[in-house]
Structure 1
Amino acid sequence: MTLSELHGSGRLAASYPLVRGLLAELDDGELERAGRLLSRLDPDEVLRAHPSTPVVAVAVTGHRTLGPLLAPLTAELARHGMLVRARLSDFDAYVFDLGDPKSALYEARPDLVLCVLDPDTVFDEVPVPWTAEDAERALDAMVARVRDLAVAFGGRTGATLVLNTLPLPRRFTAQLVDHRSRARLGAAWRRANARLLELGDEIPSVIALDLDPLLAEGVPAEDVRLGRYARTGLSPALLARYAREVGHLARHLTGRTKKALVCDLDGTLWGGVLGDDGQEGIELGEGLRGEAFTAFQNVVRQLGSQGVLLAVASKNDPGPVQEALREHPGMALRPDDFVQVTANWRAKPDNLRDLARDLNIGVDSFVFADDSAYECGLVRHTLPEVAVVRLDEEPARHIERLLRDGWFDTRELNAEDRARPARYREEKDRHTFLSSFDSVADYLSELDVRVRLAPVTGAGISRAAQLTLRTNQFHTGMLRCQAPQVSEAASGPATRVLGIHSGDRFGDNGMVGVVFTRRAGDTVHIDNFVLSCRVFSRGIETACLSAVLSDARAAGARAVEAVYRPGPKNSAVRAFYPDHGFTVTGEEDGVLTFRHDLSDPAGIVAPPPHIRFTESLEESR
């Protein structure tokens, strides 16, 4: 079944979950055609059939014509299982759109605002004839204008504003006949682009996309005929690649960032077949192909250093695999780089399911990389939630294929990210420790679980936002928050953001959860309660809820109210509040509201006896 066949039969909306798989192997031209078809699809029709489908509201504004961006944008979000509600602004409307809080852009309440900048954003302000100095003044004015607009936008909305660097086409530099002037223009242009990129550090609501890496791959900056006659600023090919980068960002904002990279070995991390060729015969480290495989391993290791969980799923005997990983001189990856190495002769989908269970994450957190078309097809068919990277017999292309879709892209990297692999290795030690006890109660008693529940400040803002974006199972309110929104809630007079930190005899888990509360009169509202899957089933959620209830009562509140919003994976926490003494007060469209009367302190559930608080909420006030 193809996309065109689904559309022609009127079943495209009803079959929308199939779209991701249908788009997975399309080339750029096919994807463009698919985007044009999908852009005619009514998101509401899809939502009626599949109400849990993530929807991203995107407003597109800029200096020139941007209609050609909508089709690739629709296709890129569909590739990741999302829907887009797009609003396209008028020609050259970005100053009004971002500067006027009463504009239609603000009224649309977008999640993402794409302010697409192009070279004519500058050169339309340059007189004729012009000099390098004229262009430099226009560049400075443009950057200052964009910065002012971004600051104002960030203060008015919780949306993310996406800016981009500007290409410098030769049709402008060549108008300067002396090389010194061309060099001056190039230097000024690069300084302006650097300032645009730095706005992402200065203004929390801003993401700045660097277009230079895309141009370096040979993507044309502009189409001169479309630029002249259709008034486009960037080429359709560049807008399509821009849309791909936005798709990666949207995937992250909807909590769909991948967490683990699972690699095959033979033909993937090294050349040859270990079982046939032996350790001495595999291609790795020496020769042109061997160097290519080592280069690929270095990229995999680089990803692992930034918090991506690395694992192996290979059809091999385990002994030779471990020996090769430990001893082969060309190996960039060693056993300690992986959270798990699985080498056996079982079907790879079965091994992926077991790995997900062992790591306590969903299979939809996996990226699976393999050179075998059969294995890739089997995983894609059996586990459609897994992102499959199909490699081939040319190792020089492995890096490009792995990085093409930015599976692990995140808005900001923090210390918790870098420590993640070590945390999961500690988790394996906990499972081994558990197996030595006859009961879970005895295990928890000896685990020495320590919890700190305290207001989030400073560097913790980023981590708290990340937890709301990446946690899908224990997530009661399903509120995805960016760092500016967390910061606003953390500093509000009636709102609090409480970070949950945990540790035990095996190590410090860092910030593993966050609770958003809001005081209204004599009632405290729990707007969101998020807990990482890494620390499930240890009583931490009960201990923290008990602390919130006790603290609310001590502060004079008469009741605590809470909410549960259904998401695609959080059904397990639907009963969380009723199980802890809350009563249901309402239900609408699956959203449940609860209330806990604080008049009787005995009605507050006690924290589990094996939990030890290292800091109380009263101490942190």
Structure 2
Amino acid sequence: MAQEVLFAEAPSRLDLQALDLPSRPLGRYRANVWRNQNFETFEGLLRPFLSYARLELECRVHGYDDTLDFSLWESADVEILWLDSSRYVSRMVLEDWLGWLRNRLLDLRSRTTAPILVASWDAWGQESDAQDLSVLVSGVPEAHVADLGAVCHEEGVALLDSRVVKVSGSPISRSAQTVLARRLGCQWLPGLLLPPIKAVAVDLDNTLHAGVLGEDGVDGVWLSTGHKALQNALRVLRTQGVFLALVSRNEREDVEALFVQRADYLLRWDDFSIVEVSWGSKADAVKRVAQQLRIAPNAVLFIDDNPGELASVAAGCPEVRTLFASPKGMGTYRALSYYPGLWRWSVSTDDALRVQDMKANVERDRLARTAEDAGQYFRELGIALTVRYDAAADLPRLAELCRKTNQFNLTLRRYNEADLAAFMARDDACAVAVLLSDRLSDSGTIAVLVAVRERDALVIEELCISCRALGRQLEDTIVLASLRGMRLFEGCRYVRFNFVEGPRNQPARDWLNGLVSRFGGPPGGGEIGVEQLTYFTPPSGVTLAHE
């Protein structure tokens, strides 16, 4: 099984090279590789991991160059700097190298808004490796550092082997090459290029524990070291904003008893945002998980020990990702740790808020059903909106919204931090962040709006609202409040919304059609006059602040 080869504790080069995975890419991309050491050998090891991630990558590998001269630059989806830092030791101290390399990054950033990945290590032997290397990307939007030395230390393999330099053109050891290929193919590149997984739906019997609850009883199932590691990894994902769902064919009262009575169970009942315990179809259950979480099926990973159940879910929900749960749990833990789309370059405050905010939606839905009108609903919730303009601190979250949002996304442009920073720097453009909170929870930054002034028109290049904020009757207020406070709004006669139809953004289209209709725009168009917008005020019960 490919999963066993890819996620083995010590990946085998021969087994990796023998894998023949089907080609079914989620996306096709091009990378510029700027290097001063061998990348071709590494690229061969990288391929099976990229295939598993369903990521097709054409690498344009440039010649060996210690100077990082980007004069041959051509457009690409990602820029990779693959650097042997030891080649600079005799010429520079660490601080000088970091300063020089940061200047090279700024030069590259001036040519492109594509993500930049610097893969290298501290060859000077400083004590604080990660902190030293992190200064490289300070103030460089959408640039990231992969500290190869720190990764190899974590994996328990030697990074360097001086014996292979003359043969391979790189001091990186053979054992390090395989684990670094796995990190690059399963974590680092998917984290830059692919939509993230937002929810993990997990089976119970022989997945979270060994044994069958209905046959062995609450006290009869047991947790191996691997099962405990898996449960702990799932809890960590939850703190990072990934939803957990339990999907099990069992009696619900037995499952509830398990979580109450077994103190050694690391996962608790409340850790799951959705619980689907029944004897019905798991494919249907996973569909309901996606619907209740208001996310697309391709943002869900389903884990089960039964190949038949995995096949059934794959047939009933082709977009859902699937992962086989190994009997002892440790294989599942390793596969989950490396699964493409789960790893994040950073975890924001908004990520941590996501799970709790979704739980509060149950109470919000109740209030929506019982309130006499929208005013009462807003007043009982105590809704507060904060609109921020061109704030560099918002870049990571705004880029995340552009990358993750599918249902309420007008143009699906997938702007990254560098793209958004470029808009913020323009006199004729603006990038807006909208924050939302109420008495039940702080939802954090839930919307991004990008606008450009074109003569007497304000053109909305992108508008994304998080699925967590949908259904609160706030879409008009979020957008119109953002427009009214924008410096570019003054003197405009029209607001034009660009729209690109995608597979899942019908909610955005429906909202836009309704807005145009309410403000007297042409049917089926995306343009409205601003005269009526000037009279907009927030609904009763909604407080509004601009920053």
Give the TM bin, normalised by the shorter chain: 0.7 to 0.9
Cα distance in 2, alignment partners of residues 94 and 332 from structure 1: 51
Deviates more, 1:238-247 or 1:345-354: 238-247
Q: Match of 1:374, SS?
A: helix
Q: Is the 8 A contact 2:387 2:435 kept in 1?
A: yes
Cα distance in 2, alignment partners of residues 486 and 457 from structure 1: 10
Superposed displacement of residue 501, structure 1: 2.5
Aligned: 1:66 with 2:4: no
1:45-84 alignment runs, 5 A limit: 54-73=27-46, 75-84=48-57
559 and 198 in structure 1: CA distance in 2 versus 1, 3 angstrom threshold:
same
1:481 to 394, 408, 415: 415
Amino acid at match of 1:501: L
Aligned: 1:580 with 2:518: no
List alignment gaps of at least 5 residues for structure 1: 1-21, 39-45, 98-102, 127-136, 169-184, 586-591
The aligned counterpart of 1:256 is 195
The aligned counterpart of 1:532 is 466
Q: Match of 1:581, SS?
A: helix
The aligned counterpart of 1:164 is 119
Cα distance in 2, alignment partners of residues 365 and 36 from structure 1: 22
The aligned counterpart of 2:401 is 467
Superposed displacement of residue 54, structure 1: 3.2
91 and 362 in structure 1: CA distance in 2 versus 1, 3 angstrom threshold:
same
1:308-347 alignment runs, 5 A limit: 308-347=242-281
Amino acid at match of 1:615: L
The aligned counterpart of 2:105 is 150
Superposed displacement of residue 311, structure 1: 1.6
Aligned: 1:274 with 2:213: yes
Once the two structures are superposed, what CA deviation does each residue of 1:535-577 show, in whole Å capped at 9, x if it has no partner?
2243322223334555579611122223123444324434544
1:213 to 147, 151, 161: 151
Cα distance in 2, alignment partners of residues 263 and 122 from structure 1: 48
Aligned: 1:109 with 2:75: yes
Q: Is the 8 A contact 1:252 1:409 kept in 2?
A: yes
- The structure 1 segments of at least 4 consecutive aligned residues displaced by more than 6 Å after TM superposition are 22-26, 34-38, 222-226, 437-446, 582-585, 605-609
The aligned counterpart of 1:361 is 295
Once the two structures are superposed, what CA deviation does each residue of 1:178-229 show, in whole Å capped at 9, x if it has no partner?
xxxxxxx7x44x5566522443456444211132434654667468786424
271 and 612 in structure 1: CA distance in 2 versus 1, 3 angstrom threshold:
same
Cα distance in 2, alignment partners of residues 65 and 336 from structure 1: 49
Superposed displacement of residue 422, structure 1: 0.2
TM-score by length of 2: 0.84
337 and 564 in structure 1: CA distance in 2 versus 1, 3 angstrom threshold:
same
Superposed displacement of residue 59, structure 1: 0.6
The aligned counterpart of 2:330 is 396
Superposed displacement of residue 488, structure 1: 3.9
165 and 82 in structure 1: CA distance in 2 versus 1, 3 angstrom threshold:
closer
Q: Is the 8 A contact 2:99 2:136 kept in 1?
A: no
The aligned counterpart of 1:507 is 441
Cα distance in 1, alignment partners of residues 489 and 37 from structure 2: 58
List alignment gaps of at least 5 residues for structure 2: none
1:426 to 330, 353, 360: 360
Deviates more, 1:405-414 or 1:207-216: 207-216
Aligned: 1:412 with 2:342: no
Aligned: 1:228 with 2:166: yes
The aligned counterpart of 1:196 is 133
The aligned counterpart of 2:492 is 557
Amino acid at match of 2:497: A
1:245 to 183, 188, 191: 183
The aligned counterpart of 2:477 is 543
Cα distance in 2, alignment partners of residues 341 and 566 from structure 1: 33
Aligned: 1:615 with 2:547: no
Q: Is the 8 A contact 1:68 1:236 kept in 2?
A: no
Deviates more, 1:607-616 or 1:488-497: 607-616
Amino acid at match of 1:251: P
Cα distance in 2, alignment partners of residues 236 and 92 from structure 1: 23
Q: Is the 8 A contact 1:72 1:240 kept in 2?
A: yes
Superposed displacement of residue 420, structure 1: 1.0
Superposed displacement of residue 89, structure 1: 0.5
Count matched residues. 535
Aligned: 1:595 with 2:527: yes
158 and 121 in structure 1: CA distance in 2 versus 1, 3 angstrom threshold:
same
Amino acid at match of 1:111: D
Cα distance in 1, alignment partners of residues 122 and 480 from structure 2: 56
367 and 37 in structure 1: CA distance in 2 versus 1, 3 angstrom threshold:
closer
429 and 255 in structure 1: CA distance in 2 versus 1, 3 angstrom threshold:
farther
Amino acid at match of 2:491: G
Superposed displacement of residue 380, structure 1: 3.1
TM-score by length of 1: 0.75
Cα distance in 2, alignment partners of residues 571 and 84 from structure 1: 30
606 and 241 in structure 1: CA distance in 2 versus 1, 3 angstrom threshold:
farther
240 and 470 in structure 1: CA distance in 2 versus 1, 3 angstrom threshold:
farther
Q: Is the 8 A contact 1:316 1:343 kept in 2?
A: yes
Amino acid at match of 1:371: D
Superposed displacement of residue 491, structure 1: 4.7
Once the two structures are superposed, what CA deviation does each residue of 1:292-335 show, in whole Å capped at 9, x if it has no partner?
43333222212211211112111111112112212312122212
